[in-house]
Amino acid sequence: MIMQPKRQKYRRTFRGDLTKVASNGYTLSFGEYGLKAMTSGLMTARQIESARKTITHYTKRGGKIWIRVFPYMPLTKKSEGSKMGSGKGNVVGFGTPIKAGSILFEIVGVNEDIAKEAFRLASHKIPFKVKFVRVSDQF
């Protein structure tokens, strides 16, 4: 099931600056292994769900997975063939801005080789560069 907010204050929002570096959420908090964003960008709810399914499938539902990002920002698109002007387009889905250095997924309860391969497969679903990190490398 694709994630989206239960309710929101505004129907449409601006995207904001997508070039910042993470000032929090850049260390592993729950699991032994994680997937860290190395560049900034926008990640849609579909991409998050696709990566989650890939990780779950490869680990054969072993271990525990934490999704550290949530798609709260409405994404809009103008209808095809519409002329310039006439306002902002309709909401077509939700996404989240990802800052460079932030942790996207964490996993615990599987060995390192399985976690590394699961995150490698999931990285193909993500639209920016990512890196495999382990808790022993942080401190």
What is the domain-level CATH number for residue 57?
3.90.1170.10
How many Å apart are CA 79 and CA 36, to the nearest integer?
35
Domain count along the chain: 1
Cβ atoms of 105 and 65 closer than 8 Å: yes
Record the pTM.
Answer: 0.93
Average pLDDT, the chain: 95
Given a contact cutoff of 8 angstroms between Cβ atoms, the answer to whether 119 and 132 are in contact is yes
**Residue 102 half-sphere exposure, CB side, CA atoms within 13 Å?**
23
Domain-embedded: residue 125: yes
**Residue 48 falls within a domain, yes or no?**
yes
- For 100-131, the pLDDT digits (tens) are 999 999 999 999 999 999 999 999 999 999 99
Contact criterion met (CB below 8 Å) for 99 and 21: yes
16 within a domain of the structure (yes/no): no
- Asked whether residue 15 is domain-assigned, the answer is no
